[in-house]
Amino acid sequence: MKRILLVALVCIATLTSKAGVVNGTCGENLTWSLNTKDSTLIIEGTGNMTSRPWAEYKSYIAHISLPNGLTSFTAYAFDGCNIKGITIPESVTDIETRALAYCSNLVSVQLPEGVTTVAESVFENCKNLESVQLPSTIASIGPWAFSHCTSLTSIIIPDKVDSIGEWAFNECTGLTSIVIPDKVTTISHCLFNGCQKLNGITMGNDVTTIYNKAFCDCSSLTSITIPEKVDSIGEYVLSGCTNLTSVIWNAVDCRDLIYENNPFYCYNGYLGVYHTYDIRQQITSFVFGDAVERIPSGLCDGMNSLTTISIPQNVKRIEEKSFFGCYNLESVSIPEGVSSIGGFAFMNCQKLTTVSIPNSVTSIEYAAFAECKSLTSVTLGKGITDIRGDIFSGSPISCLTVLLATPPAGGTGSGINNTTCRLYVPAESVETYANSIWWEDFMEIHPIEADTPTSTPSNSIVPSEYTRKLLYDGQLLILRDGKTYTVQGQEVK
């Protein structure tokens, strides 16, 4: 410690012994001089800046004078200087990595037309930077470019920008809104991580990928819209967004979404931050755009506050665990056009009471509607040929309507209690169902009438606990309480 102090004192003494002026060259045609009495760095000449020999004196620099004719800032050019402002000549077209980083007193800056890139970490940790004006020529923003610019409240990103690097706006805790241009296709890793006042995000129409933790800990964010072309979303994208309540999902065919660590899950332990608040439970509105064709795996898993879901007409696939554990979901409309419903898709939707599966559905996978403790009425369309796999296991279905004339496989393998559930089938198929190995054990088989049945029709099969079936002259008959009936419910004398 004593040695460090001694070196510092020697440096100060060296400066003052030279009348407070140091100078030299910083490019082929550039010179520099620093007057430590007025803390002014003066650069003169033309061309590219190739070095920063004033670096050891940067704590003295409070003012910078640059010539018209200077064409570039070298990397780390003014890193750590005490400037409050800087006028960058119009001749400058290239500003390299960290050129103005850690200028903690810098309040405002304007980049000239001609600059095409906001380089990596160029303004990193400029904690008092309030205003940045970017020229229309900017096409890219590098990683960490504005990281920890905590006083920055807004910034206009030019339309030509097509890429923004990871962590670019990390911990910009004063930033309140952002519009991402249409040319940007990727929302990078941790792009807006920790932007605690950010309450408005507009993503461009061409975004296809949203990487891990892109909006992590944006605690003022109340709603978000996912663009149509998004096909891949990383882990924990919205973890820690403790005020998020509304989602508009326009992604047409998003396939790459891992439900174990989906966008709404909390991430524990990153950089010592431990999130215990599960934001899924606070989302009260989840709206799908009309163009959506696929609902990804686990998308709404555990969103306990959702009460209704409307699935758009264009949806073809509902993937596994899409709505798993939406305990308060009371109704869902599955449109004609859906072809498959994945495993566990609606499992544990405790308040779901009725489900109607359209004719277009040809596949329902394992336990799709299992443990739905209020589900009492289900209608299966004509496209279902197999309902094995405990699809309805643990759900107290008392009324099952099957529109398919040919009995699908799996009546007793679907998890439905055949002693308490009334089965409704096409009138011409009652006998076929009663004679099917998958359906013969159902205690009640009724023909479908004009409306959804609410009481037992007169021509139904309603066996008592002593009922048994037999074949007589090739005809299936029902024995009940000492009398004989046809499968249509007509007594045989």
In a domain, 342, yes or no: no
Asked if residue 148 and residue 66 are part of one domain, the reply reads: no
Question: Is residue 464 very low, low, confident or very high in pLDDT (cuts 50, 70, 90)?
Answer: very low
In terms of Cβ atoms closer than 10 Å to its own Cβ (0-12, 13-18, 19+), residue 106 is buried
- pLDDT (tens digit per residue) in 79-102: 999 999 999 999 999 999 999 999
Q: Of 266, 283, 300, which residue sits at a domain end?
A: 283
pLDDT above 80 for 266: no
pLDDT above 50 for 481: yes
In a domain, 261, yes or no: yes
Q: Tell me the whole-structure pTM to 2 decimals.
A: 0.81
pLDDT above 90 for 263: no
Q: Provide the pLDDT for residue 18.
A: 46
Q: Of 67, 83, 116, which residue sits at a domain end?
A: 116
Q: Which three-class secondary structure state does DSSP give residue 185? A: coil
Structure tokens that stand for 226 in this block: 């996912």
Instruction: Give the C-alpha separation, 479 to 132, whole Å.
Output: 87
Query: Torsion angle of alpha carbons 157, 160, 162, 167, nearest 10°?
Result: -20
- pLDDT (tens digit per residue) in 402-453: 999 999 988 777 889 988 899 999 999 998 999 998 898 888 888 987 444 4
How many DSSP H helices and E strands does the chain contain?
Answer: 2, 38
Q: Provide the pLDDT for residue 261.
A: 52
**Complete edge-to-edge strand list for the sheet that includes strand 363-364:** 294-295, 317-318, 340-341, 363-364
In a domain, 181, yes or no: yes
Asked if residue 275 and residue 149 are part of one domain, the reply reads: yes
Asked if residue 76 and residue 155 are part of one domain, the reply reads: no
| 477 membership: H or E segment, kind and range | strand 475-480
In a domain, 397, yes or no: no
CATH number at residue 179: 3.80.10.10
Asked if residue 277 and residue 170 are part of one domain, the reply reads: yes
Q: Provide the pLDDT for residue 276.
A: 43
pLDDT above 90 for 20: no
Q: Provide the pLDDT for residue 280.
A: 83
Question: Is residue 356 very low, low, confident or very high in pLDDT (cuts 50, 70, 90)?
Answer: very high
Whose CA is closest to 483, among 472, 475, 468, 474?
Answer: 468
Q: By mean pLDDT, which of 127-131, 172-176, 487-491 is the weakest?
A: 487-491
Other C-beta atoms within 10 Å of 471: how many? 9
Q: Provide the pLDDT for residue 298.
A: 86
pLDDT above 80 for 32: yes
Q: How many domains does one find in the chain?
A: 2
